[in-house]
Amino acid sequence: MIRLKQKKKKQYKQLLYSIVLLALLLFVFGFAADRIRLSNESEQTAILEKAVTRTITQCYALEGSYPPDIAYLTAHYGLTYDSDQYLIDYQYIGSNLRPDVTIIKRN
């Protein structure tokens, strides 16, 4: 009878250890997945910033003036981005002055 109780106690401890280990693994996996997601988001923002800068420069080199707005770049130079995910604040200063561009990630 005592052996049976000890055996059940041992099984209970093993089950408890398994559950704790599984919970720990799920927590670590979730944390790692979140870090990867954040890294990808910041990388996407950097890529979009480079694409906008490159497209503005290309427009100036070909036409001799800076584009009046982002819509001009998307229509004439093939700039594409997810407008649901990013807001591009484009401040046109003049045809011969580089525009001020700010890219904001939407929630």
**What does the DSSP 8-state code read for residue 64?**
S
- Domain assignment of residue 76, given as a range: 2-105
Per residue in 16-71, pLDDT tens? 999 999 999 999 999 999 999 888 888 999 999 999 999 999 999 999 999 999 99
**With contact defined as beta carbons under 8 Å apart, do 49 and 55 qualify?**
no
What total of structural domains would you count in the chain?
1
In terms of DSSP H, where are the helices of 1-107? 2-63, 70-76
User: If DSSP codes are grouped into helix, strand and coil, which group holds residue 62?
Assistant: helix
Query: What is this structure's pTM?
Result: 0.70
Per residue in 79-97, pLDDT tens? 999 999 999 999 999 999 9
